[in-house]
Chain A
Amino acid sequence: MVQTSQATLIGYWLTVILAMGLLIVPWSTPVLYLAPNWVLLILIYWALAIPETAGVGKAWFVGLLVDVLTGQLLGQNAFAYAASIYLSIKQHKRIRHNPIIQQSLFVCLILLVAQIIVFWIERINGQIMPMLSWLTVLTGGIVWPVILLLMRKIRIFSY
């Protein structure tokens, strides 16, 4: 077990809160559909970087907060986030050493899993998500390299 420092933990929560803010920034409608799921991307980053600390439990709690933030059914994002973070932690040793492009593909896959879970729950609840909302999966993958490099910079800075 690696002991994670207090600073990293603070960084974890700060970036998550920042991502939550980004999630609810009001864009115009076409951009809205393109906006990636910032919170989940940040969570995946932390799950790959410090899997011992950024566990499934924390991801579940963050998901619950996002549910309240966006006024959706309690537990739907929590479920999706917990499942996708579980997958990322399972695979983190393999993924960490891949080149960035392959990581992007993997992230796309995880975002897709999360989106499918949300889609199912919404469907059972009687909501039908428009086809356009699947685009966030792609944009998430495209944005991943930026997030990765940016977060690395921040982490080096914080040490």
Chain B
Amino acid sequence: MNVDDTTLRALAASLKFRQMRQEVINSNIANAETPGYKSKSVEFEAALARAVDVDHDGVMTAEDEKHYKLHTGGFSSLEPEIVESSNGVVSDDGNTVDMENEMASMAENKVMYDASVQLLNKKLALMKYAIINEK
């Protein structure tokens, strides 16, 4: 059990990205009637999965700085993508915000955020327990 292991870093990164996602959802909801506004979304799961190497695709090193590294915990270079979500909803004035979609995404984001915080707490509590009970 490492104080700085991959899991903790993945959890911390997911917290940060979910905050970003919440901000973008706020923006979408506030601009739900602005003409010409395109609905946006934050995509971070794929990048995070690569950095964590969840599927254990093997240890591959990268020579060029810009190439993705697998499982080296390269979290510092992790950047989420903010893309225009293609939900196909276009109203007359060019606005593509789908309100129901945004509310659903917001609910899911909140639940996953809470779950991440709780898991983080559990791991930290276990570490503290091990330290305190070291007689």
Are A and B a genuine interacting pair, yes or no?
Answer: no
Q: Which residues on A are within 8 Å of B, measured CB to CB?
A: none
